[in-house]
Amino acid sequence: MFDLLGISAPAFFGQLLIGVINGSFYALLSLGLAVIFGMLHIINFVHGAQYMLGAFTALLLLNYLGIGYWWSLLLAPLIVGAFGIVLERVFLRHLYKLDHVYGLLLTFGIALVIEGTFREFFGSSGQPYGIPPELAGVQNLGFMFLPNYRAWVIVASLVVCFGTWFMIERTRLGSYLRAATENPALVQAFGINVPLMVSLTYGFGVALAAFGGVLAAPIYQVSPLMGINIIIVVFAVVVIGGMGSILGAVVTGFVLGVVEGLTKVFYPEASSTVIFVVMVLVLLTRPTGLFGRA
Partner 1 sequence: MEMKLLAGPVVALALIGAPAYAEITGDVVRIGVLTDMSSLYADNTGPGNVAATELAIEDFGGEVLGKRIELLTADTQNKPDIGLSVGGRWFDVEGVDVIAGASASSVTLAVQQLAGEKNKVFLISDAASSDITGKACNANTVHWTYDTASLANVTGSAVVEAGGDSWFFLTADYAFGYALERDVTAVVEAAGGEVLGSVRHPLNSSDFSSFVLQAQSSGAKIVGLANAGGDTVNAIKAASEFGLVQGGQKLAGLLVFVMDIHSLGLDVSQGLQLTEAFYWDQDDKSRAFTERYKKKMDGRVPNSIQAGYYAMITHYLKAVEALGSDGPGDAVVAKMKELETDDPLFGKGHIRVDGRHMHDMYLFEVKAPSESQGPYDYYKLIATVPPEKAFRPLEEGECPLVKN
Partner 2 sequence: MSTAAIETLPRVEPQASLRHQYVIFAILVALAMVMPFAIYPVFLMKGLCFALFACAYNLLLGYGGLLSFGHALFFGSAAYVSAHAAREWGLTAELSILLGTAYAAVLGLCVGWLAIRRHGIYFAMITLAIAQMFYFFYVQAPFTHGEDGIQGVPRPPVFGIIPTVDDHVFYYIVLAIFLASFLLIYRAIHSPFGQVLKTIRENEPRAISLGYRVEHYKLLAFVLSATLAGVAGATKALVFQIASLTDVFWAMSGEVVLMTLIGGLGTIFGPIVGAFFVVGLQNYLADYGSLVTIIQGVIFVFCVLVFRRGFVGEIAKRIGKPL
Nearer to partner 1, 7 or 167 (CB): 7
Which of partner 2, partner 1, none interacts with 293 (beta carbon under 5 to 8 A by kind)?
Answer: none
Distances (CA, A) of 77 to 58, 117, 139, 185, 206: 9, 20, 29, 30, 8
Q: By rule CB under 8 A, what count of residues binds partner 1?
A: 42
Show the DSSP H helices in 171-193 as ranges.
172-182, 184-189
State whether the Cα torsion 70-48-233-170 is positive or negative.
positive
Which of partner 2, partner 1, none interacts with 163 (beta carbon under 5 to 8 A by kind)?
Answer: none
Nearer to partner 2, 186 or 277 (CB): 277
Residues that bind partner 2 (CB under 8 A): 43, 91, 94-95, 98-102, 104-106, 108-117, 119-120, 232, 235-236, 239, 243, 269-270, 272-273, 276-277, 279-280, 283-284, 287-288
**String of b and e for 47-68 (b: at least 16 CB within 10 Å)?**
bbbbbbbbbbbbbbbbeeeebe
Binding of residue 265 to partner 1 (CB under 8 A): yes
Binding of residue 188 to partner 1 (CB under 8 A): no
Beta-carbon contacts of 162 under 8 Å, excluding residues fewer than 6 positions away, are none
Binding of residue 237 to partner 1 (CB under 8 A): no
Binding of residue 119 to partner 1 (CB under 8 A): yes
Nearest one of 92, 85, 31 to 197, comparing CA atoms: 85
Question: Which of positions 146-165 make contact with partner 1 (CB under 8 A)?
Answer: 147, 149-150
